[in-house]
Amino acid sequence: MPTLHGTPFSPFARKVLIALSEKGVAFDHVPVSHFELTEAFDAISPLRKIPVWTTDEGDHLPDSSAILQYLDRAYPVPRLIPEDPLAAAQALFLEEYGDTALALAVAPVFIEMLAAPVILKRAPDQALIDKKLSEEVPRVFSYLNSRLEGREYLVGEDFSVADIGIASPLCNFRHTGNEIDRANYPHLADFAERMLQRPTIAALFANEQKLMEGMVSKAAAG
Ligand SMILES: N[C@@H](CCC(=O)N[C@@H](CS)C(=O)NCC(=O)O)C(=O)O
């Protein structure tokens, strides 16, 4: 059985979980957190990052975008990378935007508000949260909002890696309880709702909420 290594709370591992669910691929899941990676993990992930996908043959793919490329060729139904060359390139760019600008804006908010108190057992860095929410988040949300005007999906007429790449970090943002300000970013707010109602993403998000509740009550019990 192929194996995914990576906690479902990682925006990068969640990209892979969404694609696997969309394609109905069976796999084993080792939900390792990046907070617990040691040197031994370098054997399968030279950058010591999650996610890693290990094929049945024992090959390791240590990057979410590489994994999505692989999955789309190995399990082509449904297609998540558009056939059209321009649309494919646009989708890959938006996936990259999600992995970089969006993840860098919202993942630290998630880490400080949830991982810090629950996993790392330290106080949140409120100054960092405030800076992300007041500077980077508005810039990134504004760009995404403009890309989504009049569109159901980010590229073309179908769900693609672009939507996965943007929806996944938005799940982390939703976990923090912060809202996408509908007055300023109506198209992005609608997109986030659509994505969170999509059955594959809704099921993953509900499972994460259950896991998070368990972690929060365990941390509260000391
Ligand atoms: N480009 C990588 C980024 C993966 C990544 O940054 N993962 C984080 C967890 S969300 C990680 O493992 N961080 C560990 C570290 O940077 O030390 C991908 O798309 O898979």
- The reported pTM is 0.98
Side-chain half-sphere CA neighbours of 53 within 13 A: 24
Q: Nearest residue CA, atom 2 of ligand 1?
A: 63
pLDDT of the residue at 90: 98
Q: Nearest residue CA, atom 6 of ligand 1?
A: 49
Q: How far apart are CA 128 and CA 210, in angstroms?
A: 27
Q: How far apart are CA 4 and CA 210, in angstroms?
A: 20
Helix, strand, coil share (%) of the chain residues, nearest 5: 65, 5, 30
Q: How far apart are CA 31 and CA 160, in angstroms?
A: 24
In one-letter notation, the amino acid at residue 30 is V
Cβ within 8 Å of residue 39, ≥6 positions away: 48
Pair 165, 96: CB distance under 8 Å? yes
pLDDT of the residue at 222: 78
Q: Nearest residue CA, atom 12 of ligand 1?
A: 49
Q: For each of the chain's 222 residues, which pLDDT tens digit applies?
A: 999 999 999 999 999 999 999 999 999 999 999 999 999 999 999 999 999 999 999 999 999 999 999 999 999 999 999 999 999 999 999 999 999 999 999 999 999 999 999 999 999 999 999 999 999 999 999 999 999 999 999 999 999 999 999 999 999 999 999 999 999 999 999 999 999 999 999 999 999 999 999 999 998 887
Give me the long-range contacts of 25-28 (CB less than 8 A, separation at least 24). 25/71, 25/75, 26/1, 27/1, 27/2, 27/3, 28/1, 28/2, 28/3, 28/4
Q: What are phi and psi of 84, to 5 degrees?
A: -65, 130
Pair 205, 180: CB distance under 8 Å? no
**DSSP per residue, 2-20:** -EEES-TTSHHHHHHHHHH
CATH code given to domain 85-220: 1.20.1050.10
Q: Which residues line ligand 1 at a C-beta cut-off of 6 Å?
A: 10-12, 34, 48-51, 63-65, 99
Domain boundaries, the chain: 3-74, 85-220
Give the architecture (CATH level 2) of 3-74.
Answer: 3-Layer(aba) Sandwich (3.40)
Choosing from 50, 99, 106 the residue with most ligand 1 atoms within 8 A of its CB, the one to mutate for a pocket test is 50
CA of 213 to the centre of ligand 1 (A): 24
CA of 12 to the centre of ligand 1 (A): 7
Burial class (CB in 10 A: 0-12, 13-18, 19+), 206: exposed
